[in-house]
Structure 1
Amino acid sequence: MPFTVAIVGRPNVGKSSLFNRIVGDRVSITDDVAGVTRDRIYAQAEWLTKKFSIIDTGGIDIGDAPFLTQIREQAEIAMDEADVIVFVVDGMSGLTESDYYIAKQLYRTEKPVIIAVNKIDDSVHAHNAFEFYSLGFGDPIAVSTHHGIGIGDLLDKVLSFMKNDRYQVDQTSISFSILGRPNVGKSSLVNAILGEERVIVSPIAGTTTDAIDTPFTKDKVKYTVIDTAGIRKRGKIYENLDKYALLRAMSALERSDVALLVLDGEEGIVEQDQQVAGYIMDYMRAVVIVVNKWDAVEKDSKTMKKFEEKIRAQFKFLPYAPIVFLSAKKRERVHTLFPAIQLAFENYTKELSTKIINETLQDAVAMNPPAIHNRGKANFSYATQIAIKPPTIAIYVNDPEYVHFSYERYLKNQFRSVFDLTGTPLKLQFRKKDAYED
């Protein structure tokens, strides 16, 4: 599991605002109406070069208001999975009965707990934090999610609990996760890949409730396969069998190089498949689309081509993903999966020629110069690859604000037309050109 931080507290104390501050984007919905965040919301965050996962939760409260039971369950799951818990309280309204109730829940977790006293917007109210010593979790940290005050101190404290050597990944192995909505045949695919009944298989949706890592070697190549619980629709995530499913899937993605998006060839593509694909996109992982249960589909010479066209139409944001058709149950065409995984991984870790990157950029600009955007016109000076997993290109420009998102998409397509990047996302970073030094 990656290092994970859970944010908990009663409704309307600013949990989602703190989450958004840490993540750096408005991922969680924030509203003055208590209880807007009902489900756990997940994201990746970074502080002082250290990456971690963070979970926002619905407000825990006492009483019998709608959804309170489910919200408490979701918060308990988040606390159970977290390495550190940030307990957010309201520095202006002071301690409440609900705060004491949450504190009692937190004592039982035996996890490190940090008190974040929110809404301390100025030094006049700083003394309000002292009241929260009585909760018994050590020194409270005064913060203001509105003004960004104290967030750095809070994150320093959070990361003091991170052990540097805890989450080492075998760099010599291709790590791939198997993701998809429940009952598309993920566990059967694991068994077919490993050649033995290693994972329990059942026609009941939601049988797998954990992420299972299994190393193996095939054709002298080392792999680690990560099976995950099925991802259900958010509204159904409260069911007991599903309670860990989404969190474990996020954990699997965190430590994967390649994600296999498994579809049900018999049932076809549904909205949930696109939601799962969205998580893969968010984590910027290499991807292979796997159409399972192909044995159950009535076929003619055009069936595969038509299904592929449907996939391309439904997953327009994954045009680079290779598609593999197989039957895990019958162990048919499983051998076609490994070349796709290897290709995606090779491109995910590909190093690109700086010379060709710049020639491609120059040719792209010559063919289609950027239009005026934000009252300015982008003038590109230089580009170079700065990272792999995925390949990341820094492009130095007079002002990144002048680059329209459609032009970024155009440049990505131009780079893809020159470099084989099948299976991998491509990341572009636009930097102000005075940031580049010869």
Structure 2
Amino acid sequence: MKPTIALVGRPNVGKSTLFNRLTKTRDALVADQPGLTRDRHYGHGKVGGKPYFVVDTGGFEPVVDEGIMMEMARQTLQAVDEADAIVFIVDGRVGITPQDKLIAQRLRQTERPVWVAVNKVEGMNRGVVTADFFELGLGDPVAISASHGEGVRELIGEVLDGFQVDTDDTEADHPKFAVIGRPNVGKSTLVNAVLGEERVIAFDQPGTTRDSVYIDFERNASHYTIIDTAGVRRRGKVNETIEKFSVIKTMQAVEDANVAVLVLDATQEVSDQDARLASFVLETGRALVVAVNKWEAASAEQRDRIKREISRKLAFLEFARFHYISALAGQGVGDLFKSIDAAYAAAMVKLPTPKLTRALQLAIERQQPPLSGRIRPKLRYAHQGGMNPPVIVIHGNALEQVPDSYWRYLEHCFIKTFKLQGTPLRVQYKRSDNPYEGQAGGGKKPR
């Protein structure tokens, strides 16, 4: 079992920088602005052959009792309860603060082992910098520089020494799905409904989620990873640098996922931004499930309107399944998983070459490619060229003369034959070379 290490501390002490250093990623947003991280953020790391989970948390404000800062503090306390060990990060350049003392008092009440990491000590006398932090009463402080990596390996090695760590961290393939949509459509509420707990902050304020949060869980003995993402507004409204990074993280999450769950708001119109998000999913080739949320709050008129708009504005998503749900009430969430499983299976399907070629021949028997002048293109055989999305490569002659409409016809035939519900399909062609082309005297291609 991998131990879980929670990173806690007041805002802007370098928790996300240390998280990125430990996971060797850039998964956590980092900027010189307090309060950037809001939800718990999980990652995987390994040092000396020992794997572990690490949890990045929001800035801990232990005395607030309302608003988003209270929600962040609650998330931090939940991370502390879940953790096997806690790394309490303080700022060596600022020194000990009254808030550090309050956090230390709260951490002393836990039964978890706590290490004090004095961050930002590059170029400083470590003995002098760490001396003040003995006052916290949490053992010997460890001097580190998260941005430069100084002392980090030694710190985590010391934390892991107290655990029996299973070095076999091989993980089976499993569905990874990203929940995407415009701000305030109920993405985080849906994530919490899926997990059965308030795992991410769901606040009645657009833009509450700023980072992409990866969460592993099990449902009906099956393993999944769900990704809660920041709401994506239309480009003209994305002004703050932090929000621009959040949009990038959402796009990266879609590319990293197997399935995207596009959340729409049943009480609002289907916007151009919804269509652009769906188009991005289609361009990346990811499987897609559409969840029309807040169905219980929509009037009969609003329900009729959004169905008409889906038919008109999202007609290009005919391969995807649509669900009308209430994340707040938990209605329809179970059915959503059936479509996620089906979309994942379709995206990762393995198609044998004989079956693909037979499906191609049956499609040609029903409708041959149109003549191009006096030449009719020859489609000879097909094989699979990739997964997520499935790619089918067709070999033959004069394939560049086949019109786009016929390629779309073949796509529909393959989707119908192999029941590829929920994923886009890519059909590519590869022209067979003429061995006599370019030789002196020409010559004819043998029949």
Q: Smaller-chain TM-score range? A: 0.5 to 0.7
Residue equivalent to 2:314: 315
Match in the other structure for 1:406: 405
- Give CA deviations for 1:116-160 in whole Å, capped at 9, x if unaligned: xxxxxxxxxxxxxxxxxxxxxxxxxxxxxxxxxxxxxxxxxxxxx
Aligned pairs for 1:7-406 (under 5 A) are 171-240=172-241, 242-299=243-300, 307-308=306-307, 310-373=309-372, 377-406=376-405
Provide structure 1 residue ranges, at least 5 long, that are not aligned to the other structure.
Answer: 5-167
Counterpart-to-counterpart distance in 2, 1:327 and 1:380: 47
- 1:412 deviates by 0.5
Structure 1 residues 240 and 386, CA, compared in 2 at 3 Å: closer, same or farther?
A: closer
The gaps in structure 2 that reach 5 residues or longer are 1-19, 27-168, 436-447
Q: Deviations over 1:381-405 (max 9, x none)?
A: 1111232222211100213321221
Q: 1:313: how far off?
A: 3.0
Structure 2: how far apart are the matches of 1:253 and 1:169?
23
CA gap 1:342/1:380 in 2 versus in 1, 3 angstroms: same
CA distance, structure 1, for counterparts of residue 298 and residue 25 of structure 2: 42
Q: Contact 2:378/2:399 (CA < 8 Å) preserved in 1?
A: no
Counterpart amino acid of residue 380 in structure 2: S
Partner amino acid, structure 2, of 1:216 = F
- Over 3 Å counting, the alpha-carbon distance change for 1:378 and 1:304 in structure 2 is farther
Counterparts of 1:317 and 1:378, CA distance in 2 = 28
Aligned residue for 1:215, secondary structure, equals strand
The 8 Å contact of residues 379 and 399 in structure 2, kept in 1 or not, is answered as no
What's the CA shift for 1:309?
5.3
- Any conservation in 1 of the 2:207–2:230 contact (CA below 8 Å)? yes
For 2:231, the aligned partner's letter is G
The alpha-carbon deviation at position 205 of structure 1 amounts to 1.1
- How far apart in 1 are the matches of 2:266 and 2:329? 14
Judge conservation of contact 2:295–2:303 (CA < 8 Å) in 1: no
Shift of 1:414: 1.3
Are the structure 2 counterparts of residues 3 and 434 from structure 1 closer, same or farther at C-alpha, using a change threshold of 3 Å? farther
> How far off its partner does 1:299 sit?
4.1
Q: Is the Cα contact below 8 Å between 1:232 and 1:242 reproduced in 2?
A: no
State whether residues 320 and 421 of structure 2, in contact with CA within 8 Å, keep that contact through their aligned partners in structure 1. yes
Deviation at 1:411, TM superposition (A): 0.7
For residue 140 of structure 1, what is the aligned residue in structure 2? none
Q: What is the percent sequence identity of the aligned residues?
A: 37
Instruction: Write the letter of the residue equivalent to 2:173.
Output: T
- Residues of 2 paired with 1:374 and 1:388: CA distance? 36
**Counterpart code for 2:199:** R
Instruction: Return the alpha-carbon distance in structure 1 between the equivalents of residues 305 and 382 of structure 2.
Output: 39
Cα 1:170–1:407 change in 2 (3 A) is: farther
Secondary structure in 1 aligned to 2:315?
coil
* 1:308 CA drift (Å): 4.5
What SS is found at the alignment partner of 1:202?
A: coil
Mark the CA change 1:277 to 1:373 in structure 2 (over 3 Å): closer, same or farther. Answer: farther
- Runs of 4+ in structure 1 over 4 Å off: 1-4, 168-171, 303-309, 373-376
How far residue 239 of structure 1 moved from its aligned partner, in angstroms, is 3.0
Contact 1:206–1:241 at 8 Å: present in 2 too? no
> What is the distance in 2 between the residues matched to 1:323 and 1:210?
26
SS of residue paired to 2:410:
helix
Tell me the CA shift for residue 307 of structure 1: 4.7
State how far apart, in whole Å, the 2-side matches of 1:396 and 1:308 are: 40
Going from structure 1 to structure 2, the CA distance change for 1:342 and 1:379 (only over 3 Å counts) comes to same
Residue 202 to residue 427, structure 1, CA distance change in 2 (3 Å) = same
Task: State the distance in 1 between where 2:434 and 2:187 align.
Answer: 46
SS in 2 for 1:431: strand
Return the letter of the residue paired with 2:286.
R
* Length, aligned pairs only: 271
AA partner of residue 342 (structure 1): D
1:174 offset after TM fit, Å? 1.0
Question: What amino acid does structure 2 have at the position aligned with 1:250?
Answer: M
- Give the C-alpha shift of residue 169 in structure 1: 10
The answer to whether the 8 A contact 1:374-1:401 is kept is no
3-state SS in 1 of match to 2:429: strand
CA deviation after TM superposition for structure 1 residue 375, in Å: 8.5
Q: 2: distance between equivalents of 1:422 and 1:238?
A: 38
Return the index of the structure with the highest Cα Rg. 2
One-letter amino acid of the counterpart of residue 249, structure 2: R
Normalised to the residue count of structure 2, the TM-score between the two structures is 0.56
Mapped to 1, the partners of 2:406 and 2:257 lie a distance apart of 30
2 CA distance for matches of 1:183 and 1:435?
58
Mapped to 2, the partners of 1:308 and 1:434 lie a distance apart of 49
Q: Deviations over 1:257-313 (max 9, x none)?
A: 00001100111311110010011011100100011111101249xx87875454233
Distance in 2 between residues matched to 1:240 and 1:201, nearest whole Å: 22
